[in-house]
Every structure is written in structure tokens, then in C-alpha cells.
Structure 1
């Protein structure tokens, strides 16, 4: 490298440092112990310390205790071949002892022992969110209708605590006067991606009643997928006349019955349309290679005759035979798809315990002998379903869990199967401790031909097939999320009365 190149590199480094120093965001470099190696000018007013003071401290020494363990876990690099990046919200104590809320983006440097932290002060935003939390009655649920978040305003109105209701079904807070068909109607609206508006009678923790005007609608991620539902509520208890209450409840039931029939038709239409779209995508994938081979062989045969190469009769017959074989493959693909879209079995009355026992028999004992499989069946109630299809889905998920545990060399592997009933719905949950699914790809796991495995271990149709079976044949929903040390698959299926 020439002296001119070295000088140019120095100037570029100086310019880059100037840009970083004058950034609006606080930018710093820390080591694995979180000791500050470098901070830019914006870092100082955020925390109230001088640059010289910060360089002598660790970042965790400025954090509130409850955030330290979580922050340190975000510094663990799982794959040294990939750039490590993580994001976390924390609370720090400034030099003047005031709290400051920070959004931290952590990125590993080429030296894996050092990390760049990009810091934004979100205290004002948190203050606005706090006002909404205190005064707006709101709630969030997952796709299965289980409560994931609730505002302080709702807790104040209903007298429940976070512990009381997080993870519980939204319908479990219904007053006993409210017919469950109302909630079935709400679920149908949300399943067809429609907003539901109406009045509901709910039950406080002490058993007393209150009325809400509810607005509930789907939430979407950046890929356009529905990730859950949000509910905005207004307390209208004082507006409800006790004399009108009985007639209002009766009218709600009548309206719900009529709307459910309409939404059932819409849901069937939407499901068929979605499956047709996915089927066409999958067919185009399956057909591409055979069609290419047919085209190549036909063109070669045509070219041979045009060039007067005069292929022998045997060569011509051989080429035509290969074209015929590829055409047969295309025909077989169509037949397989027709079988795929039709249930293989008839609906039958069964029990969760029967399905789970059959499932465990189908598992290869040798391949799972070092994995602890835990069963927890809260309600072993008879229900009618396509038991073969349901068993296939559960087996597929468990095999994926087993492979994740083995792939990540988990010594004390564990797969927990939980089953419970709630409001005409049966839930199956399968949790493992196989380290979970990367957040960047978890939204893709139900797509056709997407796989986290090596090519030789699968083509990525297992979970896609499971989703089709659950959505089309079992009238249910399947979702996946990560918990502390693994993946959690949840299936909810509406049970026929």
C-alpha cells in the first residue's frame, strides 16, 4: 500500500469518526463485560455522564437490575459465521438518578469480543404509551384468542391482575348470561379478517357484571400475515338499562346465529382460494423440471431431423419414451395433489389420550430414547375429528422438535405435549427445548419448500402440509412461537357439538 493510500485511509477513518461523533443516536463500543471502549458525543447527554466518566464504567452498572440478565443474554453469539444482531429495550439510571428508557441495537464487530451499541432515548414515547396504558381500555390476543397483553385501564375496570388473565382465553371472561355463540361469531369475523363491533357483558374478578362496547380486529406483520388481534373497549355499564338487558342478550344470540352462517360460507371460500393459490405455486414448482426435460428432449429431436442427423428409430423411440415418462410424472403429480386435498380418513369420535398414545407408538423409540416426552392431558373428552390427519400433524411437529434437539446437541432433551378444552375448542401445544427458531425466519416455516434443515434431510413440505391439513380439514389454526429455550407449536380446533 502506498503512502498516498495510507493517507486516504486515515482521512476516510477521520470522516467516519466525525459522522459517528455527530450522530443523533448514542453510539458506543463495549466488550463482553459491557465495559465501554468508546462512546460518541450523543451518548453523554443521554446518560448525563462525561465521556471520561463513561469510559471507566460498564454499561450494566447503569442499568436497573431486572434488565441486566436479559441484556447479557443478547451478547451471546450463537453462530460465529454470521453477523450477530439483537435489539432490546432497557431502563438506565442517569447521573442525576433520573430514569431513562433506551432502545438498544447490538451488533457484533469483526472482533467477536466487541459489540457496537446504537442507543435511542425513547423516554418520551414510553411516557405517551404509559398514558394510553393508564386510560385506554385495550387488549391483545394471539391467533387462538389467548390474551397476550392487557392495559392497566382494563385491569382497573375488571379488578383482575396480569397474572390472572395473561394466557387465558378472551372468552373465559364472559359473563354467564352471555351465550358462547357470541364469541363463536367474534372468532368467525376475525378468521375472515373482518372487524367485529358490538356490546358484550363481561365478568369482573369479584363476579359482578360490566358492559363494554368492543372493537376487535386483526393485526398484521410487515409480510401481511395476521399475527393476532387487538381489542379496543369502552365501559358502557352505566348506559345499559337493566330492563333492556335481557332482550339485548337474546337479540345478540339471534344476530350471531345468522352472521355465523354467512361467515362460514365466506371462510370456506377464502380457505379454498388460499389453498388454490398455494397449490398452484406448489404445482408450478413440481412441474418445472419435468416440463424443462420434455422441452429439451423434444427440441433436440426436432433439431436432429432439421440438421439431417437422421436419428435411428431406436433413439427416436427412446426419446419419446422419456418424454412419455415425464408426462406420466406430471399426471401422477396431479393425482397426488387431488389425494392431498381430500381427507384420507373419515371423521370419527376419539379422545386426546387415544391420539397421543397412537402418536407415541409411531415414534421411533431408538431415535427418541434420550429425549424426555411429557404428556399433560387436562380434559380427556371425546370429540369428532379426522384422527389420522390430526395424528400426522402432531407427529410431524414432534419429529421436527426431536431433530432440533439432536441438531443442537441438547443433553437433556424435552418435548412437552399439552391438551386442554375451552369453549368448544380443543388445544394441542407442543413445546421443546431445542433452542427455538431464528426470529428472522420463523414467519416462513409454514411456507412450501422452506426448510431449516440441510437439503438432504428434507424439502420443506412437512409444516406446510400440516398447515393445510389443520386449516382445510380440521377447521383449526396452527401457530408457532419461541419461548425461553425452544419452540412452541399451538393448534386450536373447533369441536363439533
Structure 2
């Protein structure tokens, strides 16, 4: 009976954690869709402009072709006829503003290429982020790369309210379950953004720093949000503990982060916070796991 109750409890916990993950994925997916939509909309606008330019050039080229046809039909065109054709060409070039189009085309192609590169970058980072989440196997993991991937995925959520400063030192590759570390980073970023939003400064600030010491690597994530009351600091890693209003969160984000860092990766996660000033989380991860 007790064993059945334990299994039911584990199953319920697993379902709640899965729902938490899905909620985060849904939020990020909406942000990524928006991030991709911006350069795509710009490329579409440039394409519409290029289409208009094409028809303007087509009109000019038709005059050139007619002139070429006249040259083939007559061995010698009269000078006055040549002058009339040249005047017609110049008139159509002015009407279609060909000199401006010549200048604008370079910028259109350059901007469109930048937009395409931006979409490619987002897709590449998203694929790397999601690929890391498809395995529970410890493997080589670059914490700095994980931070950058997570920031790209969360960019749309951050960019309207938060400035992110990165101080990423050269650190060794570690053994970790990359997708789970990325999930921790994402949870901390979302929490920091929420805290900043609650404080409502003109511009929020998140500082991310990495460094290595002895046999561990560290990630320090600090925000200038609303902070945590001292009486709540000892409870923030407890399952279902949350100071957010009903419907704003399950309180599982930091509990999951604690489990991933301490139990699965044999590291440590600590927090310092001052109400009204901000919060700083410190993650410590061993470079090599004990079983490696």
C-alpha cells in the first residue's frame, strides 16, 4: 500500500514537473516565433520593393531592346531618330527613378541578407538548445555556450524590459546533462525578468558571469529586480513555494533547478537577495562527475 502511494506521488510529481516544462516551452516558443517573424517581415517588405523595382527596370529594358531592334533593322539610323530614342530612355529612367533604385538595391540586398542570417542564427541556437534537451546522458557541455543559446531563445522575453551584460570567462568543458542545465538557466532568467517587471525600473539589468575555480565552474546571475524578503529566502527552493499571484507560477521552477544542480549534478545553487535591490544566484558545477 505504501509502495503504491509512493508510486502515485512520484507519478503526480512527474506530471506537474512536465506541465511546468511545457508552460516554459510554450512561453519560449511564442517568443522565438516573434523573433523569427521580425526579420521575415522585413525580408518580405524588401521582396515587395524588389518586385516593384523589377517592373521599373523591365520598362527601361524594353526601350533598350526596341532601340537594339531598330539598329538591326536599319543599317544607319538618322541622328535625329537616335536622339529621340535616347530622350525616351532618359525620360523613362527619370520616371522610374533608376538612379535611386541603383543605390537602394545594394542596401536592400545587404539588409535582406542580414535578416536571413538572423533567422538562421535563431534556428541554429534553438536547435542546439532543444537538442540538449533530448537526452538524459552526461556529456561534454560548454556552460558559456549554454548561456548564449538560452539567451537567444529567451531574447524576445528579455529585450523589452532587460539589458543583459555578459562577463563570460574562459572556462573548461564540463560533464553535464546539457538540456537540464539550460532549463535551470532559463528558469533563472524568467524569474529575474519577472522580478524586474514587478519593480518596474526604467530599464532592468541582468548580469551573467562565469569563471572557474579549482575543480568547479561557476555561473553567477544577478538582477536588479524587486528582490526576495529575508523571511522567504530559506524557502525558495521548496516545492510549490511561490510568492507569485495565483496563476502566475507553480513554484516548481527553483525546486526543479535545485534538484538538477544538487542531486543530479552534485553541484550547489545558492542565493543572496535584498528586498528592493535585487537578487543574485550562484551555480557551482563540478568539471568532472564522480562516476566519470
The TM-score by the shorter chain falls in which range?
A: 0.5 to 0.7
| Structure 1 residue aligned with 2:238 | 447
1:6-405 aligned within 5 A: 333=12, 336=15, 344-405=135-196
Q: Which has the higher helix share?
A: 2
Provide, for residues 29-60 of structure 1, a one-character-per-residue CA deviation record: whole Å limited to 9, x for no partner. Answer: xxxxxxxxxxxxxxxxxxxxxxxxxxxxxxxx
Give the 3 Å change call, closer, same or farther, for CA 415–425 of structure 1 in structure 2. same
| Structure 2 residue aligned with 1:472 | 263
Q: Report the Cα offset of residue 473 of structure 1.
A: 1.2
Provide, for residues 444-469 of structure 1, a one-character-per-residue CA deviation record: whole Å limited to 9, x for no partner. Answer: 11111110110110121110111111
| Structure 1 residue aligned with 2:207 | 416
Contact preservation (8 Å) 1:355, 1:387: yes
- TM-score, scaled to structure 2: 0.53
d(CA) in 2 for partners of 1:335, 1:443: 24
| Structure 2 residue aligned with 1:488 | 280
| Structure 1 residue aligned with 2:112 | none
Q: Report the Cα offset of residue 370 of structure 1.
A: 2.8
d(CA) in 2 for partners of 1:463, 1:403: 14
| Structure 2 residue aligned with 1:456 | 247
Higher relative CO (Cα under 8 Å, sequence separation at least 6) belongs to 2
d(CA) in 1 for partners of 2:8, 2:268: 24
d(CA) in 2 for partners of 1:351, 1:388: 12
Give the 3 Å change call, closer, same or farther, for CA 438–475 of structure 1 in structure 2. same
Find the residue that maps to 2:220 and give its secondary structure. Answer: strand
Give the gaps of 5 or more residues in structure 2.
21-133
d(CA) in 1 for partners of 2:176, 2:221: 19
| Structure 1 residue aligned with 2:104 | none
d(CA) in 1 for partners of 2:242, 2:222: 19
Find the residue that maps to 1:401 and give its secondary structure. Answer: helix
d(CA) in 2 for partners of 1:436, 1:416: 15
Contact preservation (8 Å) 2:144, 2:210: no
Give the gaps of 5 or more residues in structure 1.
1-278, 287-331
Contact preservation (8 Å) 2:198, 2:226: no
Q: Which has the higher strand share?
A: 1
- TM-score, scaled to structure 1: 0.32
d(CA) in 2 for partners of 1:337, 1:453: 17
Find the residue that maps to 1:448 and give its secondary structure. Answer: coil
d(CA) in 2 for partners of 1:490, 1:335: 26
| Structure 2 residue aligned with 1:323 | none
d(CA) in 1 for partners of 2:16, 2:263: 14
Q: Report the Cα offset of residue 361 of structure 1.
A: 1.8
d(CA) in 2 for partners of 1:406, 1:350: 31
d(CA) in 2 for partners of 1:446, 1:436: 15
Runs of at least 4 residues off by over 3 Å: 334-340
| Structure 2 residue aligned with 1:96 | none
Give the 3 Å change call, closer, same or farther, for CA 367–354 of structure 1 in structure 2. closer
d(CA) in 2 for partners of 1:442, 1:462: 15
Give the 3 Å change call, closer, same or farther, for CA 482–384 of structure 1 in structure 2. same
d(CA) in 2 for partners of 1:410, 1:426: 32
Q: What CA RMSD, in Å, does the superposition of the two structures yield over aligned residues?
A: 2.9
Give the 3 Å change call, closer, same or farther, for CA 456–381 of structure 1 in structure 2. same
Provide, for residues 217-263 of structure 1, a one-character-per-residue CA deviation record: whole Å limited to 9, x for no partner. Answer: xxxxxxxxxxxxxxxxxxxxxxxxxxxxxxxxxxxxxxxxxxxxxxx
